[in-house]
Amino acid sequence: MAERERSRTPPFGGVFVAHARVMTADDMGRAILRMAHEIIERNHGLDGVVVVGLQTGGVPVAERLVEALEDIEGLRPPLGYLDVALYRDDIGIRPVVPEAATDLPADIDNSLIVLVDDVLFTGRTIRAAMDAVCDYGRPRSVQLAVMIDRGHRELPIRPDYVGKNLPTRRDEVVDVHPLGVDLGSVEK
């Protein structure tokens, strides 16, 4: 995902150089487990909960979250995938290409949607995701889980479940991958 972001946003391309490992794989595993407990606590179980991973960076996080929820509660909540490319507000400003088709459970009316993304930054992706979800039905509530909240919000959006709050500079880049989370920059 980070790869795609780099190739399609100024300065177009470049190489991601990691400066610091801010979370290890173990840290991520613990954060996932904690967020899973928080989701169950907040919703009094998993009744009606649908986990929705945002294409493409949110998908592996959402999959791990579903695993964790199943381990704790013994039942597996439905998992959906959402591509928000067609709902973005920067179409025509920035290259936008759908990455993979949306695949949500058939009926999301009255469900408790937990949107999952890897990094929360300006909040614009989440704004687009909420618009997209509302085109499919009317969930009872929409909650947001992110592995990293890096700040710099441009919209009044806040996460309900956070893996780690990470203060960053705007020009820094956060890369979430299976081995951990790196903070770095894109070098031309």
The answer to the question of residue 25 lying near other proteins (CB under 8 A) is: no
The answer to the question of residue 91 lying near other proteins (CB under 8 A) is: yes
Q: Which of 20, 41, 74, 135 binds other proteins (CB under 8 A)?
A: 135
Q: Which of 13, 29, 45, 167 binds other proteins (CB under 8 A)?
A: 13
Q: Which of 20, 74, 101, 178 binds other proteins (CB under 8 A)?
A: 101
The answer to the question of residue 102 lying near other proteins (CB under 8 A) is: yes
Give the integer Cα–Cα distance in Å for 14 and 4: 11
Q: Decide the pairing of beta strands 49-54 and 112-120.
A: parallel
Distance in Å, CB of 172 to other proteins, minimum: 22
Q: Which of 69, 87, 118, 176 binds other proteins (CB under 8 A)?
A: 87
The answer to the question of residue 103 lying near other proteins (CB under 8 A) is: yes
The answer to the question of residue 110 lying near other proteins (CB under 8 A) is: no
- The alpha carbon of residue 124 and the mean position of all alpha carbons in its chain are separated, in whole angstroms, by 12
Give, rounded to a whole angstrom, the gap between the first and last alpha carbons of the chain: 18
Q: Which of 143, 168, 170 is nearest to 157 (CA)?
A: 143
* Contact footprint for other proteins (CB under 8 A): 4, 7-8, 12-13, 83, 85-87, 91-103, 131-132, 135-136
